[in-house]
Structure 1
Amino acid sequence: MNTTSSQGSVKKTYRRQFGWIEKTIAGIAAAIEQAVFTEEHSRQPGLLQALDPRAKLAMFLVVVLAASLSNSLVALPCLYLVLLLLARLSKVPFDFFIRRVWIGIPFFAGIVILPSVFVTSGPRLFDIALGALHFGPSSASLLSGTIFIARVGVSVSLAVLLILTTPWSDILKSLRAFHVPQIFVLLLSMTYRYIFLFLHSANGMFEARKSRTVGRSSGQEQRGWVSGSMSHLMNRSFKMSNDVYAAMAARGFQGEVRSYNAYRMTAQDWLALVLACLLAVLIFCIGRYVL
């Protein structure tokens, strides 16, 4: 009886001690798998995947601008339905596309817009009193809050659809076509490339910690190990950045990133760009004259 109870207490201690490590490892693995899964979508034979990345980036900018200027609860849902149709024609999983956008947007956008919804000066739908303070939502504030969340949802959906249907390297090269500074594109490229390496290193460190730990360590020891691991990863990143730049300079790098991929706008790309511009004008006009 004592042996059984002691074994049960050891298992509980083990789970309590390594639960946060296992969750961290699972989060790191999920981040890597999600990034790889995204690259797989960009290589599917879909509608948006067949377009020139420069055309897709221009379409994205035009439609995002129209959505951000729209104040209509008719135009924004219609635009979102168009995005859902494009996601279906581009062979993007429906549930994956919707979850990736709408799981976090109501929470974060709601936090931003919540004060302006309840702190109003006009007639309120209901009144909340906290001592001498009185506040509550009005019909106008609820409408503006709903429009704000719809704008954020549509804009994020456009960004997610662009990323899911376009390889990251093509997006970076398309930014150069819009005269984005070279140093900015270079930083994005290096960050995207080496973040996977450091995620893999962090994953290995957690696995090594778990496999070599016997018994129960205190909270102070665990916090010390976490801070030491963060310091080690930071020092390693600084050293690797210097080594990578030295290797690039030794091979003739002079600040210009060159790519072997050559893009050419076709009639299909121009047609898609014109349709996106017409859609943006339509959304803007509906947003100006229709509630």
Structure 2
Amino acid sequence: MREPSFSHRRAPGSRHFIARLLAGLLAAMAHADDAQTMADRPGWLQRLDPRVKLMGLGALIITAVAVHSLLALAGLLLAATIMARLSALSLARLLRQVWLGVLLFTGVLALPALFMVPGAPLFALPFTSLTVTAQGLRVALLLIGRAETSATLALLLVLTTPWPRLLKALRSLRVPKVAVMILGMTHRYIFVLLSGAVALFEARASRMVGPLPAGERRRLAVNVAGSLLERSLYLSQEVHLAMLSRGFRGEIRLMDDLCLQKQDWRAVPVFMLLALAGFSCQWLRLP
């Protein structure tokens, strides 16, 4: 079971309002399809049972959030990068999808800590009365390191595991049925709404002979949002009834059941050692 493949179409006239919207929607669809393709590639994480990946990477995320050692965070980020390379994920993809975005967002949040956390002064910013402290710099680096490491590990889990198998792993670990069903339906409805939005904008673009004024563009965006909401409410009822009529009761069914293999048992101590190494840096009070 996989999401439908979408072609990399682009509407003519990239400077046009509707063309830009269509290009963005199609890019989102192509990105999701590329993620599914990545999960089907041969790689170290792709070969592991989704339950092992979920517990192992989840344990590393908990370790990254819990430790207060910059050395431990650097080691976990390095381990995540090595796992990404072993799983056919390029450093450019990590940089584009995680590292730059998290750095910019978290950096803005961590910036005040450089000056507001009291401690030993390091240097003063020129032409200002602000002084960067050693403790403030450490707090900012801890916040950025935790965000970068956790986001990288989460991306590895998503990109190397097909969505139905991930949902099946959640149910195998006794995650409530309602929560798993909400996740599955939300994931599916994102594609339904994107496809519906593309169809609406393409229908509107086919009836246009010139550019729209600013007020008309805003009115079009509001109308499309309202139409999508109305369609989603109607479609949710129809889909729910159709699923119930076919015997769906919230359980995720796969063609091949989950089964632990030799590589899964060999991967368990790897995740455990990485988590223990991170907490060891915390216990030994390493910087």
TM-score range, shorter chain: 0.7 to 0.9
CA distance in 2 between counterparts of 1:167 and 1:33 reads: 16
CA distance in 1 between counterparts of 2:94 and 2:103 reads: 15
- 1:213 aligned partner: 208
CA distance in 1 between counterparts of 2:267 and 2:86 reads: 14
Native 8 Å contact 1:117 1:142 kept in 2: yes
Q: Which moved more, 1:31-40 or 1:192-201?
A: 192-201
CA 1:256–1:118: 2 relative to 1, 3 Å: same
Kindly tell me the number of residue pairs found equivalent between the two proteins: 275
The residue identity in structure 2 corresponding to 1:221 is E
**Pair 1:222-2:217 in alignment:** yes
Aligned CA RMSD, in angstroms, stands at 2.4
**What are the superposed Cα offsets for residues 52-103 of structure 1, whole Å, 9 maximum, x if unpaired?**
1100111011111111122222222222222222112111223112321112
- 2:71 aligned partner: 74
SS at match of 2:188: helix
Indicate which of 173, 186, 192 corresponds to 1:191: 186
Highest relative contact order (Cα 8 Å, sep 6+), 1 or 2? 1
The residue identity in structure 2 corresponding to 1:259 is L
CA distance in 1 between counterparts of 2:125 and 2:75 reads: 35
**What are the superposed Cα offsets for residues 250-291 of structure 1, whole Å, 9 maximum, x if unpaired?**
223334343333011123212211221111101111133211
CA 1:238–1:211: 2 relative to 1, 3 Å: same
- 2:53 aligned partner: 56
**Pair 1:156-2:151 in alignment:** yes
Indicate which of 233, 236, 241 corresponds to 2:236: 241
Native 8 Å contact 2:51 2:169 kept in 1: yes
More helix by share: 1
The residue identity in structure 2 corresponding to 1:86 is M
Structure with greater Cα Rg: 1
**Pair 1:90-2:87 in alignment:** yes
**TM-score, reference length from structure 2:** 0.88
CA distance in 2 between counterparts of 1:255 and 1:30 reads: 31
The unaligned stretches of length 5 or more in structure 2 are 1-11
- 1:266 aligned partner: 261
Native 8 Å contact 1:120 1:135 kept in 2: no
**What are the superposed Cα offsets for residues 27-50 of structure 1, whole Å, 9 maximum, x if unpaired?**
111111111111111111111111
Native 8 Å contact 1:70 1:288 kept in 2: no
CA 1:140–1:259: 2 relative to 1, 3 Å: same
SS at match of 2:111: helix
- 2:5 aligned partner: none
Native 8 Å contact 2:167 2:252 kept in 1: no
**TM-score, reference length from structure 1:** 0.86
